[in-house]
Amino acid sequence: MKNIVSMRWLLARMYEPDVVIADCRFLLGQPTAGREAYEAGHIPGAVYLDLEQDLSSPVSTHGGRHPLPDPAALASRLAKAGISSNARIVAYDDQGGMNASRLWWLLRYMGHEQVYVMDEGFTAWQNAKFPVTTDVPVQIPSSFEWNVQPQMLASVEDVQQASASGSAVLIDSRDARRYAGLEEPIDAKAGHIPGAVNYFWKDVLGADGRWSGVEALEERFVKLGKDDAIIVYCGSGVSACPNVIALEEAGYSNVKLYSGSWSDWISYEGNAVATGENSG
């Protein structure tokens, strides 16, 4: 696994000078819970990055519930946190890797290759009796150079085309009930983008809560061609990111994120909505 590191891997390297640990814990609907959890205890040296304050820009008419942050603003935030362009960045959360994967995707989108997600998460780290602290590290400002990789991002027009013509495989990362339109706890409309197939993001994890190995991930996506153009979405562009990592691990190289996702799709009056079971 080239994007996922074990807790022991991080334990062995956490004090190396070029390693930066980012705590990305966040609970939807409880915007202060992640920071409070960080203040109550975190991996030593970790800086806190907030999904809504740091890893998203403010909500507007389009762009979904967690619009991508402006790259310059994010680079400035990272630099202020002492994260430099040559850092090896390891992100963790306590949400199965969902929020940590958002940071992974953003950094890769900004041209930063050395970024990893820690397997399992903070509770497992704590249960393993690995070190935890309430000390907040001194953040010495650094500089973060960035170089956006536009090929990683799909626009709403790309998605409209894929939905209409099958020019790309559309993957919906939400759970099956939301995909089918049987329930929608967050967004204004229920259903999925017409033509999309459902691969619930949590299925990248095994029953033990750890990331599946490469062979299991290859098996999971076996219906997809390795050369297929693939566009991944979810509700707001966060839980799609573990699927993007999983596809990369399984050897798919033409994978884009539709960052606005379902919450952006339904913000356009003319976009069709489908309901029903997985067609994949």
pLDDT at 280 over 60: no
Q: What is the pTM of this model?
A: 0.97
Residue 112 in any domain: the answer is yes
**Helix (H) / strand (E) containing 116:** strand 115-118
In a shared domain, residues 84 and 165: no
Is residue 179 in a domain? yes
Q: Is 167 left (phi over 0), alpha (psi -120 to 50) or beta?
A: alpha
What is the structure's pLDDT at 224? Answer: 97
In the chain, the number of structural domains is: 2
For residue 16, being part of any structural domain is answered with: yes
**Average pLDDT value over all residues in the chain:** 96
- The yes-or-no verdict on residue 279 having pLDDT over 60 is no
CA 181 to chain centre: 23
Asked if the structure places residue 116 within a domain, the reply is yes
Which candidate in 37, 234, 241, 247 is catalytic? 234
CATH number of the domain within which 43 lies? 3.40.250.10
Q: How far apart are CA 27 and CA 243, in angstroms?
A: 19
At residue 1, the pLDDT reads 86
- Verify that 139 and 245 share a domain, yes or no: no
For residue 97, being part of any structural domain is answered with: yes
Within a domain: 270 = no
pLDDT at 97 over 90: yes
Q: Does residue 273 lie in a domain region?
A: no
Do 216 and 259 share a structural domain? yes
Q: Residues with Cβ < 8 Å from 225, sequence gap 6 or more?
A: none
Within a domain: residue 63?
A: yes
Q: Are residues 11 and 42 in the same domain?
A: yes
pLDDT tens, 32-65? 999 999 999 999 999 999 999 999 999 999 999 9
Domain that holds residue 86: 4-149
- Per-residue pLDDT tens for 136-154? 998 889 999 999 999 999 9
Query: Is 234 considered catalytic here?
Result: yes
